């Protein structure tokens, strides 16, 4: 059993459902301390975070990741216990195998291999690890980055171990992500009897024209790196459940996934302009999960592409698709950010798994990337 597989199994065996860490970070810290990393616990609320750094000089290469996982779902649908890792037919099964305990294990063994060959490397190496990526993400990476910014400690290159690959290891790297901007809209009406609509005001009827315009509007056309901004209604609720009562309010939840062609403030302005145009009486609450970010070029991207080519023998495709990641908290500080990890086909599913060979190759890719940047 390889060192990477062994560590991945140790991490999976700890049921670290958000925001629990269940001892995962202690495992990582012990390995990093033995390599000469200075460890700093940065815990906020129920969230465990740590910042580890080896070296004091620039440039600083940071590995970023999370020890928390999503819940396992129905246990009877798993072929084996999600928190008792099992290897079957060359695949490692368990919750977090792909997202992202396998990547964490590969980062550690890659760092160990790199430092064995280059103990006097240039620059610095760091780890930013949280237990709150799969949840609200309010006390995790974002709080650590605030701490680093307050003391002007800058990350030059950040490699996030999110599962980016599609069909084979390293075939896709995420060099950016769309922004995510959510909203809770409450349209106010007057409750009443459906037989006397003149004595009431139906917020559902009043909101429909505005919602139709929001759904059909083209917000932008995207660009070479991002698809067009999208608008999706995720929930609508009104009424008491009775068929003879006009509701007094309508609540709508919606979300923008937006490109660099617009800003969250511009989206807010346009939405409220539409709502006002139709004369709606409303309250609105905006929730910005993160702005879009992009690493279009630079040393990190070059090193990662060459590392994949060296180890796997093919070139990686760049993509900004998918949801959000903690990279959204790191990129605004000026860091080059890239996501590179195992296949994402089974993440958040029952029977989540990763190929054992991919774990070892991912460790080799990370080590080669470090050589290209810091050797």
Q: Considering the candidates 20, 99, 112, 133, report the single residue annotated as catalytic.
A: 133
Between the CA of residue 245 and those of 209, 235, 238, what are the distances in Å? 21, 20, 10
Q: Considering the candidates 20, 21, 68, 132, report the single residue annotated as catalytic.
A: 68
Between the CA of residue 205 and those of 80, 114, 240, 334, 364, what are the distances in Å? 50, 64, 16, 47, 59
> What is the biggest distance separating any 2 CA atoms in the chain, rounded to whole angstroms?
82
Q: What is the C-alpha separation between 204 and 211, in angstroms, rounded? A: 10
The alpha-helical segments, DSSP class H, found in 125-236 are 141-150, 203-216
Of 240, 257, 258, the residue nearest 249 (C-alpha): 240
The residue to which tokens 């145009």 are assigned: 277
CB 204 within 8 A of CB 238: yes
Q: 133 an active-site residue?
A: yes
Q: What is the C-alpha separation between 215 and 238, in angstroms, rounded? A: 19
Q: What is the C-alpha separation between 85 and 15, in angstroms, rounded? A: 11
Q: What is the C-alpha separation between 25 and 179, in angstroms, rounded? A: 29
Instruction: Please tell me what DSSP assigns to residue 333.
Output: G
245-246 and 192-193 strand pairing:
antiparallel
Please identify every residue annotated as catalytic.
68, 133
């Amino acid at each position: 059993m390889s060192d990477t597989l062994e560590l991945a199994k140790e991490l999976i065996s700890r049921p670290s459902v958000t925001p629990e860490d269940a001892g995962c970070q202690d495992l990582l810290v012990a390995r990093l301390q033995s390599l000469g990393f200075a460890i700093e616990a940065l815990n906020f609320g129920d969230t465990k975070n740590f910042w580890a750094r080896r070296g004091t000089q620039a440039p600083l290469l940071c590995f970023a990741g999370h020890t928390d996982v999503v819940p396992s779902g129905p246990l009877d649908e798993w072929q084996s216990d999600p928190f008792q890792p099992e290897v079957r037919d060359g695949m490692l099964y368990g919750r977090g195998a792909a997202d992202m305990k396998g990547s964490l294990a590969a980062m550690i063994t890659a760092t160990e291999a790199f430092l064995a060959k280059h103990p006097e490397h240039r620059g610095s190496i760091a780890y930013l690890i949280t237990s709150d990526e799969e949840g609200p993400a309010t006390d995790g990476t974002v709080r650590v980055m605030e701490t680093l910014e307050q003391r002007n400690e800058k990350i030059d290159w950040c490699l996030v171990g999110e599962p980016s690959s599609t069909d084979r290891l390293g075939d896709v790297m995420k060099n950016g992500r769309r922004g995510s901007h959510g909203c809770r809209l409450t349209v106010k009406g007057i409750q009443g009897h459906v037989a006397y609509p003149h004595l009431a005001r139906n917020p559902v009827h009043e909101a429909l024209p505005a919602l139709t315009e929001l759904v059909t509007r083209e917000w932008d056309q995207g660009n070479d790196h991002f698809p067009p901004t999208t608008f999706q209604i995720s929930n609508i609720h009104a009424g008491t459940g009775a068929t003879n009562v006009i509701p007094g309010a309508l609540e709508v939840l919606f979300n923008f996934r937006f490109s660099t062609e617009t800003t969250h403030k511009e989206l807010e302005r346009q939405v409220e302009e539409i709502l006002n145009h139709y004369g709606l009486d409303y309250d609105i609450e905006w929730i910005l999960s993160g702005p879009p970010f992009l690493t279009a070029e630079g040393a990190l991207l070059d090193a990662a592409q060459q590392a994949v080519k060296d180890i796997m023998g093919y070139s990686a495709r760049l993509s900004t698709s998918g949801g959000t990641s903690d990279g959204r908290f790191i990129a605004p500080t000026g860091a080059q950010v890239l996501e590179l990890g195992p296949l994402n086909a089974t993440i958040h599913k029952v029977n989540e798994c990763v190929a054992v060979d991919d774990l070892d190759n991912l460790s080799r890719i990370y080590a080669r990337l470090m050589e290209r940047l810091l050797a």
